[in-house]
Amino acid sequence: MTARLAASVSFLDWMQQVQTGMEAVLDRFLPSPAVVPARLHQAMRYTALDGGKRVRPLLVFAAGELFDTPLPLLERAAAAVEMIHVYSLVHDDMPCMDDDALRRGKPTVHVQYDEATALLVGDALQAQAFEVLSGVTGADDSALVPRQLRMLNLLAQASGSVGMCGGQAIDLASVGMTLSLAELEQMHRKKTGALLRAAVMLGALGGKALSADEMAALDDYAGAIGLAFQVVDDILDATADSATLGKTAGKDAADNKPTYVSILGLAESQALAQRLRSNAHQALAPFGDKAQRLRELADLIVQRKA
């Protein structure tokens, strides 16, 4: 990625250009497979490259374009949040967690390599994320350092026990249990929502100073799309096949996990996703047309088929 994309570019073209650009960015920031330990670096690249929708990087770029975040910092933030996401998938798929054999249409890391390598891949990707986000951007670094420090703190909180890892712990402890809707929402605000919120905030915090009202509006938007993403995931797990999803379909029901579909039913879950989409649009009203990419990403999250 060498320049910002014009607002006149269609959403699909913008999305494709960001996704393609992220492959080059991740390739640049991941360790070379020629560097020792070569097998670990190969496995990191196996799972991080050539796959996924890159929703989190797309959110980083959309928010960053709204608040004029410098491109070098946007690239680092997008790569960092994607590395955290990918590491979480690698660990989530391991036998000690969800024990899945398929991810992004190819064998999971512990299947393609082995369990020990999968564990190390996740650990290494987590560390690599913070190395990348804290690195030299090449663009007025002295002015960017305070922003980077705030962004590092945000990503650490979103990834840890009060965020993604905490949500996964609740998820594992909830197998076979009946959760209330409020308990399910709390779990997914952490497990899925925290990192999606971080993606939005990372893109925004690297740019101009945000007012309290702007922060609140972004927070409302991120909260709505974070829940919507999980609601749609639960719907797709119940309605799509493995080939479409690129992962094992119907696994939540097979593992007796509480989901929005199991608590609300399919029709009400679909209605909830649409309400959350509307809430996300409403939250962006103060930003006017400049937030069009974020609106389009809310639509993508709710309308996706995989």
* Percent of all residues in the chain with a pLDDT value above 70, rounded to a whole number: 96
The CATH T-level fold of domain 11-303 is Farnesyl Diphosphate Synthase (1.10.600)
Among residues 95, 133, 96, 114, which one has the least CA distance to residue 42?
Answer: 114
Q: Is the distance from CB of 74 to CB of 60 less than 8 angstroms?
A: yes
Asked whether residue 228 carries a pLDDT value surpassing 50, the answer given is yes
**Whether 240 contacts 249, CB under 8 Å:** yes
- Given a cut of 90, whether residue 208 has pLDDT beyond it is no
Residue 52 has pLDDT above 90, yes or no: no
Residue 84 sits at the vertex; the CA angle it makes with 75 and 93, to the nearest 5 degrees, is 140
CA distances, 288 to each of 32, 65, 282, 294 (Å)? 43, 14, 10, 11
Query: Span 211-226, mean pLDDT?
Result: 96
Q: What is the pLDDT of residue 3?
A: 44
Global pTM value: 0.94
DSSP 34: T
Query: Residue 224: which of 302, 306, 303, 305 has the closest Cα?
Result: 302
Question: Could you state, in order of their start, the residue ranges of all structural domains in the chain?
Answer: 11-303
Query: Phi/psi zone of residue 142: left (φ > 0), alpha (ψ -120 to 50 degrees), beta?
Result: alpha
